[in-house]
């Protein structure tokens, strides 16, 4: 079973390829997604890495949590499921 990791503290210049290369030291990387601002396209400084197994996910946490990558110290832990936003008000169209 795969393990999805939250990776915070990314440099704004970090690419998905460089993140995948780094995390592949811990095992097989299934997917990488750096979250970007929808308007500017600029990185928000965090993303998600999915490792093939839970063991590889734990190894990646041990390898990278609190360690420097591209000039920034990373925060790496198991990703939590997305929770519904509190007080979310959908956009109301005006006529």
The two tokens of residue 3 are: 């393990």
Give the domain CATH number at 31: 3.30.70.330
Domain span at residue 66 reads: 3-78
Per-residue confidence at 91, pLDDT binned at 50, 70, 90? low
Residue 72 in any domain: the answer is: yes
How does pLDDT run across 3-55, given as a tens digit for each residue? 999 999 999 999 999 999 999 999 999 999 999 999 999 999 999 999 999 99
Residue 93 lies in a domain: no
Q: What is the pTM of this model?
A: 0.85
Is 42 among the domain residues?
Answer: yes
Per DSSP, 70 falls in state T
pLDDT beyond 90 at 77: yes
For residue 85, tell me if it sits in a domain. no
Q: What is the pLDDT of residue 93?
A: 63
Q: Is residue 60 part of a domain?
A: yes
Q: How far apart are CA 59 and CA 54, in angstroms?
A: 9
Residue 60 has a pLDDT of 98
pLDDT in the model for residue 84: 77
Q: Tell me if 88 is assigned to some domain.
A: no
Say if residues 50 and 30 touch (Cβ distance below 8 Å): yes
Q: What is the number of structural domains in the chain?
A: 1
How many other CB atoms are there within 10 angstroms of residue 1's CB atom?
6
């Amino acid at each position: 079973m795969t393990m999805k990791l939250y990776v915070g503290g990314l440099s704004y210049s970090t690419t998905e390829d460089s993140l995948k290369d780094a995390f592949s030291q811990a095992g097989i990387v299934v997917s990488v997604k750096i979250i970007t601002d929808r308007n500017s396209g600029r990185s928000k400084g965090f993303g998600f890495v999915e490792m093939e197994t839970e063991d590889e996910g734990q190894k990646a946490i041990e390898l990278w949590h609190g360690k420097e990558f591209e000039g920034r110290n990373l925060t790496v832990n198991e990703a939590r499921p997305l929770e519904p936003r509190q007080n979310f008000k959908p956009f109301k169209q005006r006529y």
